[in-house]
A = this chain, B = another copy of it.
Amino acid sequence: MFEVKVTENMFIAHSLNDDLFGPAQNLHGATYVIDLVVSSKNLTSKNIVIDIDLASKLLKKCISKYNYKNLDDIPEFQNILTTTEFMAKKLTEDFIYKLELIHYDIKALYSIKMTLNESHIASASYLTLLNE
């Protein structure tokens, strides 16, 4: 099994409107330093998992939808708790959609994992297998 990882970051504001989240119920923000890991069982004829420049470009496009935004203002996130876990899944789904838009052969990949590091002591990830 092969993996490649590329790292980007985004800056968002949000509030988590449930008692569980204590002070994070307030409008606040976070930097997500994002590690995107794409894996495949075999390499392409160019000895790569995926073109790393393509992966970075598509990830940046996904990020641009939320970067420098208040997630509370995004229509599809109304009444949704935009936790780090939730955003990890959302960015993974967005990334796969970007691959589909360019007719990328997703079946050649094995998995996609998106880790959002929110500080030096906490992160959340979402992993999806692409052939299930």
- Using a CB–CB cutoff of 8 Å, the interface residues on chain A facing chain B are 1-9, 11-14, 18, 20-24, 26-31, 33, 43, 46-49, 51-53, 67-70, 73, 80-86, 88-89, 115, 118-128
A69 to chain B: which residues have CB within 8 Å?
Answer: 26-28
A30/B27 in contact, CB under 8 A: no
CB-nearest residue of chain B to A64: B23
Q: Which residue of B lies closest to A3 (CB)?
A: B125
User: Nearest Cβ distance between residue A38 and chain B, in whole angstroms?
Assistant: 10
- In the complex, the answer to whether B46 meets A83 with C-beta atoms within 8 Å is yes
User: Is A70 in contact with B7, judged by CB distance below 8 angstroms?
Assistant: no
**Which of chain B's residues have a CB closer than 8 A to the CB of A23?**
67-68
Identical subunits present: 6
Contact pick for A2, options B8, B67, B80, B89, CB 8 Å: B89
**Nearest chain B residue, comparing its CB with the CB of A82:** B47
B119 and A9 contact, CB distance less than 8 A = yes
Query: In the complex, A88 Cα to B48 Cα: how many Å?
Result: 11
Please list the 9 inter-chain residue pairs (A to B) with the smallest Cβ-Cβ separation, ordered nearest first: A29-B29, A13-B13, A23-B68, A13-B29, A3-B125, A7-B121, A47-B81, A31-B31, A28-B68
Known A-B contacts A1-B126, A2-B125, A28-B13; the reply to A46 vs B81 at CB < 8 A is: yes
